[in-house]
């Protein structure tokens, strides 16, 4: 019965015969540990992230509408984006995410306010209101937030709302991005 | 050679031991010392990478709406609901949210507010996020940073403001518990004389460690 280190690297006790198997067992254990270390190093070095862009939605005043029909997947490191099936979302596994969204609005006559909100499974996690007395167009500042996703998969979406006259107004050239900050459970 | 004096060499960079050229290299102790040396290196490497992957983070909110923010004064929002916390010691809540892990931190908040009654059109609403951190040097020194965002209350649907900033936190507060670390405070001021403001319970403050300090 060999001894082993805290990580389970086996070695023969003193007095036991050292054989080729002793060396193989040690090397195999170290190989496995280094493979595990490679996995954690990859997680440490590479963030999972995606960005979709080109989305738009037209909506009447005082109505919240989800921006959809994103046309471009700018990047997608972990398969979170399927614009054919879900053209309005980034679908993520459990974790903590930093999310950012941005859009222009146009098409209304006057604007009292416009609002962008980041939603996770339909619940807002960050909202930014921009008030203004603009006329033909209104540029929205981006909205960013830290989102906790606990379900097996969570749809992250970006919604727009405005109040004013005229319209419907269009939120367009939207950009929506997410990056995973960490898993919910420690690795 | 079992049990007797041994001749051992070590590798150049990682100092891993191996029998020297006069040793037949067939002793159990040869493998044990090598296994233990590799083990120590791997334990350290696992810990270093896990510290990055399992980065400290927190999300703090409100258990209920917070009412009574009067115009013309500045008041702190008092946080009371820890939604997520992976900091080493644990965040503290109150008017200041305390956290202790050193490093560069990204902090942010989403403040959702609504007038309790009438609205003074185009009155200003200001949300300020202030960070205060203790320093290693000079002892007792304090580092502060703040940033703010404003909006105008021109509608009855309430206002939503997001503020973010990156801060450098030096002191981990471990050496002197309770006296070190950093805190982030969110305060609100506004000019809505028609009624007080209510901060909605959906409001959040969050932070996550971006990376270690350069000298860690």
Residues in chain A within 8 Å Cβ distance of B164: 144
Contact predicate B194/B117, CB 8 Å: yes
Q: To the nearest whole angstrom, how far is the Cα of B143 from the nearest Cα of chain A?
A: 25
Closest residue of chain B to A141, computed from CA coordinates: B162
Structure pTM? Answer: 0.89
What count of residues does chain A have? 187
Say what the pLDDT of residue B160 is.
94
Residues paired with residue A114 on neighbouring β-strands, in sequence order: A130, A162
- B20: CB partners within 8 A, 6+ apart: B7, B8, B9
Q: Which of A146-150, B18-22, B147-151 has the highest mean pLDDT?
A: A146-150
Say what the pLDDT of residue A38 is.
95
Q: Which residue has the tokens 């974790």?
A: A95
The three state secondary structure string of chain B is CCCCCCCEEECCCCCCEEECCCCCCCCHHHHHHHHHHHHHHHHHHHHHHHHHHCCCEEEEECCCCEEEECCCCEEECCCCEEEEECCCCCCECCCEEEECCCEEEEEEEEEEEEECCCCCCCEEEEEEEEEEEECCCCCCCEEEEEEEEEEEECCCCCEEEEEEEEEEECCCCCCCCCCCCEEEEEEEEECCCCCCEEECCCCEEEEEEEECCCCC
Tens of pLDDT along chain A (187 residues)?
589 999 999 999 988 888 999 999 999 999 999 999 999 999 888 999 999 999 999 999 999 999 999 999 999 999 999 999 999 999 999 999 999 999 998 898 888 888 999 999 999 999 998 876 565 556 676 899 999 999 999 999 999 999 889 989 999 989 999 999 999 999 9
10 Å Cβ neighbour count for B43? Answer: 14
Q: Do A4 and B108 touch (CB under 8 A)?
A: no
Mutation site, A115, A140, A165, A182, interface B, largest B CB count within 10 A: A182
Residues in chain A within 8 Å Cβ distance of B159: 129, 131
- The partner residue sitting opposite B31, judged by closest CB among A11, A128, A148, is A11
d(CA A11, CA A25): 8
Alpha carbon distances (Å) from A147 to A44, B65, B106: 20, 20, 14
Say what the pLDDT of residue A1 is.
59
Closest residue of chain A to B46, computed from CA coordinates: A37
- B182: CB partners within 8 A, 6+ apart: B98, B99, B100, B105, B131, B132, B133, B134, B167, B169, B171
Indicate the angle between helix axes B28-53 and A20-45, nearest 10 degrees: 10
Interface pTM (ipTM) of the complex?
A: 0.89
Residues in chain B within 8 Å Cβ distance of A187: 50, 53-54
Q: Residue A41 is inside which H or E element, if any?
A: helix A20-45
Say what the pLDDT of residue B89 is.
87
- The partner residue sitting opposite B49, judged by closest CB among A26, A41, A130, is A41
- The partner residue sitting opposite A115, judged by closest CB among B38, B42, B160, is B160
d(CA A113, CA A169): 12
Residue B177: pLDDT band (50, 70, 90) is very low
**Mean pLDDT confidence for B81-101:** 93
Task: Give the whole-number percent of chain B exceeding pLDDT 70.
Answer: 90
**Mean pLDDT confidence for B87-115:** 93
Q: To the nearest whole angstrom, how far is the Cα of B140 from the nearest Cα of chain A?
A: 32
Q: Residue A68 has what DSSP assignment?
A: B
Q: Do B28 and A18 touch (CB under 8 A)?
A: yes
Alpha carbon distances (Å) from B114 to A67, A175, A176: 25, 28, 27
Q: To the nearest whole angstrom, how far is the Cα of B110 from the nearest Cα of chain A?
A: 6
Q: To the nearest whole angstrom, how far is the Cα of A85 from the nearest Cα of chain B?
A: 31
Q: To the nearest whole angstrom, how far is the Cα of B215 from the nearest Cα of chain A?
A: 19
**Mean pLDDT confidence for B50-72:** 96
């Amino acid at each position: 019965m060999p001894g082993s280190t805290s990580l389970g690297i086996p070695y023969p006790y003193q007095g036991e015969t050292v054989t080729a198997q002793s060396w193989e067992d040690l090397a195999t254990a170290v190989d496995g540990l280094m493979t595990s270390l490679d996995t954690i190093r990859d997680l440490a070095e590479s963030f999972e992230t995606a960005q979709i862009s080109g989305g738009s939605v037209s909506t009447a005043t005082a109505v919240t509408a989800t921006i959809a029909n994103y046309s471009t997947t700018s990047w997608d490191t972990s398969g979170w984006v399927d614009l054919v099936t879900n053209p309005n979302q980034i679908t993520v596994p459990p974790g903590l995410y930093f999310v950012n969204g941005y859009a222009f609005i146009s098409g209304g006559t006057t604007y009292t306010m416009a609002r962008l909100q980041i939603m996770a499974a339909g619940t807002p996690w960050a909202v930014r209101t921009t008030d203004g007395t603009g006329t033909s167009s209104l540029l929205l500042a981006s909205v960013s937030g830290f989102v906790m996703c606990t379900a097996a998969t969570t749809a992250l979406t970006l919604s727009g709302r405005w109040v004013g006259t005229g319209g419907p107004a269009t939120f367009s050239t939207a950009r929506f991005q997410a990056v995973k900050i960490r898993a919910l459970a420690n690795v | 050679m079992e049990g007797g004096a041994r001749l051992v060499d070590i590798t150049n960079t990682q100092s891993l031991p191996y029998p020297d050229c006069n040793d037949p290299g067939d002793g159990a102790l040869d493998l044990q010392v090598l296994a233990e040396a590799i083990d120590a290196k791997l334990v350290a490497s696992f810990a270093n990478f896990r510290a990055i992957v399992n980065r400290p983070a927190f999300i703090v909110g409100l258990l209920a709406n917070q009412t009574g923010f009067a115009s013309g004064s500045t008041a702190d929002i008092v946080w009371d609901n820890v939604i997520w916390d992976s900091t080493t010691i644990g965040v503290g809540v109150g008017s200041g949210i305390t956290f202790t892990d050193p490093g560069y931190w990204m902090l942010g908040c989403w403040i959702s507010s609504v007038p309790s009654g009438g609205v003074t059109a185009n009155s200003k609403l200001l949300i300020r996020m202030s960070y205060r951190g203790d320093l290693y040097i000079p002892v007792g020194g304090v580092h502060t940073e703040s940033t703010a965002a404003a909006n105008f209350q021109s509608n009855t649907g309430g206002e939503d403001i997001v503020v973010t900033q990156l801060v450098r936190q030096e002191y981990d507060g471990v050496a002197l518990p309770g006296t070190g670390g950093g805190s982030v405070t969110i305060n609100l001021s506004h000019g809505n004389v028609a009624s007080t403001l209510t901060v909605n319970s959906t409001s959040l403050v969050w932070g996550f460690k971006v990376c270690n300090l350069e000298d860690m």
